[in-house]
Structure 1
Amino acid sequence: MFTDTCRADDRRNGKGWFERESALHPSPSGRDDEGNEAAGQMAAWLLVAANLPVVLSVLIKWINKVVPMGNGLRDVVAQLNRFQKKHLMRLHYLLNPLALGIALWHWLSSRCRSTALPEWGLVMMVSLIALGLILKYRLCPKPLRKRVYRTHTQPLVLIALAMVLTIGHLIVD
């Protein structure tokens, strides 16, 4: 008869499906789950660098709407935004997938058992980057593109991602 070995192991150890290891339930391998902090730092800084052009663009658009300026200064600000989008958005396209790869490496090397929030953050990060790649290479039908764009560029999604990762890592530490 076919049995699922993962489920059998969970029952034998007396742990449920979602129960994590903690100080009360140490890792059976006895290894220290500190993880690879250098990879985590690299992933975090790459995410900051990759999304800097987006933050600059949002700030420039906000300044253009809120701050009273003459037409000449407004044109200069708009030209600055076009310049940074043309030259810095390449960083966004290249560094975000690289940061994801390093974040996956960090997750695989650390795997803290006390909370699942970093994993949720990683799932959110994969989703946002996948949506970005779908937009970049136009992999979805035209009627869905607007929804995909709105989801990918939604500031609340980015804020939620940052909060989940930050809170999850604070719990881990």
Structure 2
Amino acid sequence: MPKTHANDFLPWLKTASDTELKREIDAPDALLIDKAWQGSKRIDIAYAAFDHVTRTAKIVIVGITPGRQQMANALQECRRQLRSGAAADVALAAAKVHASFSGPMRANLVAMLDDIGVAQLLGLESTAALWGSASDLAHFTSALRYPVLSTERITPARRP
């Protein structure tokens, strides 16, 4: 596996407790890649298991940045895969498909893609299959690959 953020964070993810993982999703520290300030808000860039690239894709679906829900889903699925003995690349692939555009946005996205004929173009009954049996046809990504999260947990006067 080439050098990615996954190499730095997967060992921690595999051994993290449920409590530690929830804490990281709420307020990244061990999974923090970078941070910046915008006024009184701290902007965190946190690791989530979105490293996999689907090289067989026929379509690329691009979002802006994963949110906390997608972050949680990716990390939990990746950890589940790793703990069950999956290789890192397999765990990352599974996590990305499981978490990409997860939550209510996925149903909306599927409806829009189906309405404009993407399913028909790909020979699918519905683009919902891109998150299941036809996941090899789609590469999911974001303009900002990892979650960019805003928090007001530290006031500017107490900046580290």
User: Normalising TM by the smaller chain, what interval?
Assistant: under 0.3
Larger radius of gyration: 1
TM-score for both structures, normalised by structure 2: 0.25
Q: Which of the pair is proportionally richer in helix?
A: 1
Name the TM-score, length of structure 1 as normaliser.
0.24
Question: Higher relative CO (CA 8 A, sep ≥ 6), structure 1 or 2?
Answer: 2
